[in-house]
Every structure is written in structure tokens, then in C-alpha cells.
Amino acid sequence: MDELKTLEAMGLVLPGPAYIFGAIVFGIIGYVVFRRGRKTERSVLTWSGVALMLYPYVVSETWLLWVVGAGLCGWAYLKWT
């Protein structure tokens, strides 16, 4: 447990379950959107899928992960039809 306390003192904190769940959900949705974009040759969907899969690596706050993910999913939904 000393290693964990040392890492926390350095500012490194493990993400919570809500963050991990959100990253997995938005990654899966991103993969589906990416595949649909490649299949239909619609670059907007392809890049939206890439964004959904990769943005959790940039965002560190859980609330921001869910807000950006919901926005990107809404954008993909609008472009899907």
C-alpha cells in the first residue's frame, strides 16, 4: 500500500469505476460508428468514430468524459441518418 500512497502523493490517481465504464462504452460506440463510416464511405462518421475511441485518453475528469462522449454520440447520431 505504500506504493499507492507514493503515487497519490506524486499526483497520480487511478480512475474511478464511472470513468472506466464510460471509456469502455464510448470506445465500443466509437468502434461501431467507425465501422459504419468505413462501410458507407462517409468520412464524417469515420472520424467521429475515431474521436469517440480516442478522446478518453485526453480527458481526465469523469464529468467531462461523459459530457464530451454524449456530445460526440449526438453528433454521430445526427450524421448516421
Q: Does residue 1 fall inside a structural domain?
A: no
Q: Does residue 60 fall inside a structural domain?
A: yes
Q: Does residue 28 fall inside a structural domain?
A: yes
Contacts of 38 (CB under 8 A, 6+ apart): 46
Residue-level pLDDT at 34: 95
Q: Does residue 3 fall inside a structural domain?
A: no
Count the domains in the chain: 1
Residue-level pLDDT at 81: 77
Residue-level pLDDT at 35: 95
Q: Does residue 8 fall inside a structural domain?
A: no
Residue-level pLDDT at 16: 86
Q: Which domain range does residue 35 map to?
A: 15-80
DSSP state of 68: H
Q: Does residue 6 fall inside a structural domain?
A: no
Q: For the chain, which residues score pLDDT lower than 50?
A: none
Query: pTM score, two decimals?
Result: 0.83
